[in-house]
Amino acid sequence: MQREPWPHVAIRFLIEVAIVIPAYFIYFLVRGSVEGQEDDAIARAENLIELEKTLGIFWEVDIQEWTFNYEFLINLANWTYIWGHWPVIGALALWLFFFHRPNYAIYRNAFLISGAIGVVIFALLPTAPPRLVEGYGFVDTVTERSEAYRTFQPPAFVNQYAAMPSLHFGWNLLVGIALFRHASFVGMKALAVVMPVMSFWAIVATANHFILDGIAGGIVALIGLGIAITLSLYMSDWRKLEPT
């Protein structure tokens, strides 16, 4: 297959940057727009705790206590939460764009669609993360152990009460799906399976999300992917139509 000329590639890349960068800042600006709803956000978090107790999955405190038994696990959880998210998403975008172009748009759209769903929920139903709920012994390990995360999530933009759904996990799940489907090396496919599992553990072990936040984030991400695939198939069929 003939390679696409580099000037065309450069133009396509700049177009993608023009799409993704504004979306990134809109995502954070919307997340940071919720003010004066702290009490409601805490109340929703308390309701999540009660629901998890009813379901028998209120394991966050136990997971943190087990993690704190091993210093390296605390560091691993923080490292996974900080460096295993935005840098990984950026690397995936570049990999898909330059080496799997036919599939790139599907995942880009999946991220954008799931992000749009997420910010609507963040705005309408702000929910506090475990680290901001008192009385259960949650420890904010990221804030206590590292400042690196502030590089990727500027404090001025971040809404502290946007825990539900956890797109931190949901988007890492999309990364895992993309790697598993399109990577040719067995090691990369194994990483694709391990990475979302590690991400789910990290969001809970660092007290940034409840278990139900993670489950909801995965569902939202899969909905976004499903819509993106449907749109891709629809557009493909549309292009095949003969002019009348």
Question: pTM for the whole thing?
Answer: 0.86
> Is the per-residue pLDDT at 5 higher than 90?
no
The helix (run of H) or strand (run of E) holding residue 171 is: helix 167-182
CA distances from 100 to 83, 105, 122, 181, 212 (A): 24, 10, 32, 11, 33
pLDDT category at 148 given cuts 50, 70, 90 is low
CB neighbours (10 Å) of residue 60? 25
What lies within 8 Å, CB to CB, of 143 at 6+ separation is 131
- The predicted model gives 50-62 an average pLDDT of 95
- Closest-CA residue to 177 (of 127, 110, 114, 116): 110
Q: Give the whole-angstrom CA distance, residue 196 versus residue 214.
A: 10
- The predicted model gives 147-163 an average pLDDT of 62
- For residue range 104-140, list pLDDT tens digits in order: 889 999 999 999 999 889 888 999 999 999 989 898 8
The whole-number pLDDT of residue 244 equals 43
- The predicted model gives 172-180 an average pLDDT of 96
What lies within 8 Å, CB to CB, of 210 at 6+ separation is 45, 48, 49, 52, 60, 129, 130, 163, 164, 204
Are the C-beta atoms of residues 176 and 192 closer than 8 Å to each other? yes
- For residue range 58-94, list pLDDT tens digits in order: 999 999 999 988 889 998 999 999 888 889 998 998 8
